[in-house]
Structure formats: C-alpha cells, structure tokens
Amino acid sequence: MTALTFTLKSPLQQRLDVSPLVPDVLLGKSEKEIALLPLQYGNRRIAAAELFDIEGSDAESVCISGSPKLDFAGRAMTRGALKIEGDAGAYLGMQMKGGRLCVSGSAGLYAACELKGGLVEIAGDTGDLLGAALPGNKKGMSEGIVIVRGSAGDRVGDHMRRGSILIEGRAGAYLGARMTAGTIAVRGDIGPCAGYAMKRGTLLLYGSSSAIGATFNDCGLHTLGFLPLLLKGYEGLNTCFSDPQARCARVRRLAGDLSVQGKGEILLVA
C-alpha cells in the first residue's frame, strides 16, 4: 500500500487546521469519508477534497503537502507516521502522544507544545516556544524527543517537564526557562537568559557561556559518566549529537544557586 497523500490544489489563503489528518482519525475510513472530512479553513469548515487531491490508501502513513498556514499538524497523534512535505504552521505536534512526525521544511510557533510522547523531526527552523506550555498552562513537554536540524526561536522548553530537545543550529533567549526536568541540547549559539527560573533539568551546550545568567555558579570541569550514555541513545536518530566528536564526557558544569531563581544545571562541552 502507498501512503495516504494529501496534495494542496492551490496555495492556502487562510489558516487551515489539519489536526484531523492523522492516522488515529483516518484509519478505518473509506475514500468517500476521507474526502468529506471537514477541516476548519479560516472562519468556515470545508471538505478535505475541496482543498486536497487525495491519493493512496495506507492511513498508517500520511503525507501532506506543506504550507506556512498549515496549523495543528499531528495534534494529539498517538500512532503511525505523518510527513509534511515543505513548511508547517503553528502548533505542530501539539499534545502528541506517539508516532513519528517529520517536517521537511520549517515550522512556526509552539511546535511540539505540551508533547506527551513520540518523535518530532523538523528539517528546517522553528519559531518561539518549542516544546513549551500553552498560554496559561504550567506543563510543557513531558515525554518524547524533538529534533530541529536548523535553529529555534526564544523560550525553547518553557515549563518543560521531561523528554529531550535536540537543536543542531542556534537557539534564542530564555532557553529552558522555568524548566522542571528534561534535557535540551544545542549545538550552536544561544541567546541571553538561558536557564531563567529553572528548577531542575539539564541544558547541554556547545557554545559560549556568556549568555548564562549570574545565578549559575561555575563548578569546574567534570567527567560525567552518564553523558556518553545519553548521547549514545541518540545514535539511532542520525543527528549531529550522535557523532564521535559529540560524545565528549569532559564538560564544564554550571549549577544553579539554590538561594535564587535558576536551580538546574548547564553543561558546557569542553
């Protein structure tokens, strides 16, 4: 069987909610039912067949042609695979629980927000609040793995609870702000105020420590036994964090001052 493929007939003029186009919803539906599936397009609901040419039959593997206006792709997904050919809009993988979501382009705001499981891969860049909590909530990403091949915006992992975020490019300001647990690794430079109001968790950085606030104390160089094991776990994901050079266990450790905000740890690869 070939993947169930949704190809846009023309460029989107309004924001489109594609959250119903996931294996959980499409499995067991006939071709006619899928064609008539209602999607929120701007301020109206429209049948999927009016926007997409639909081909293929394997609802366990879904492919959608991309657009920066394509919102909520993979929302609450629990199984299967979803691929976006091109860019994606906001709320990519929101509250996703399982499966694999791949984007061949870039993604917008709140990608992988409140992620609960699964794997999210973004080949390009992503906007602010990657893996963060939604406005008013205090529970961000709690499980799963997010890989960004490009760069990320501000407040990556805001209110993050658990899981791993790997960024091969740079990250913006307030990296890991208000983190409770989890791991964020950044290969490039970072913006100011990293680890702001962090409670626990780990930031693994390969850049300069100049963006780290005064609430973190330099604890000197350490050889950490868990670090090679952590990076070895990323080998099957084919990222730059799994190459031999990235397995260095010798790091400079900066621990948060327990008397002020910012209590996690930041590891700078030596």
Give me the pLDDT at residue 243, please: 62
Token output for 194:
């990293």
Residue-level pLDDT at 208: 67
101: confidence class by pLDDT, cuts 50, 70, 90: very high
Amino acid at 170: R
> Residue 261's pLDDT is what?
63
So what's the pLDDT on residue 5?
A: 97
3-state secondary structure 1-61: CCEEEEEECCCCCCCEECCCCCHHHHCCCCHHHHHCCEEEECCEEEEHHHHEEEECCEEEE
Strands 38-41 and 143-148, sheet pairing: unpaired
User: Average pLDDT in the 201-223 region?
Assistant: 81
Indicate the residue type of 48: A
Q: Per residue in 118-163, pLDDT tens?
A: 999 999 999 999 999 999 999 999 999 999 999 999 999 999 999 9
> Exposed, middle or buried, 24 (CB in 10 Å: 0-12/13-18/19+)?
middle
Tens digits of residue pLDDT in 12-70? 999 999 999 999 999 999 999 999 999 999 999 999 999 999 999 999 999 999 999 99
What are the pLDDT digits (tens) for 236-263? 777 777 664 555 567 888 888 755 566 7
pLDDT at 147: 96
The three-point CA angle 247-251-257 to 5° equals 135
pLDDT in tens, 217-229: 888 888 777 777 7
Query: In the prediction, which pLDDT does 159 show?
Result: 96
**pLDDT score recorded for residue 249:** 64
Distance of CA 189 to the CA centre of its chain: 18
What is the dihedral sign for C-alpha 26, 143, 85, 38?
A: positive
DSSP state of 131: T
**Does residue 232 have a pLDDT over 80?**
no
Query: How many CB atoms sit inside 10 A of residue 112's CB?
Result: 34
Q: What DSSP line would sit under 49-118, residue for residue?
A: HHHEEEE--EEEEEEEE--TTEESTTTT--SSEEEEES---SSTTTT--SSEEEESS---TTTTTT-EEE
φ and ψ at 255, to 5 degrees?
-105, 140
Please report the domains of the chain, with CATH numbers, ordered by start residue.
61-269 (2.160.20)
Tell me how far apart the alpha carbons of residues 160 and 144 are, in angstroms, rounded to a whole number: 11
**For residue 211, what pLDDT is reported?**
76
Write out the H or E segment, with its range, that includes residue 146: strand 143-148
pLDDT band, very low/low/confident/very high, at 116 (cuts 50, 70, 90): very high
**Full-model pTM:** 0.91
Average pLDDT of 87-97?
A: 97
pLDDT at 217: 82
Average pLDDT in the chain:
90
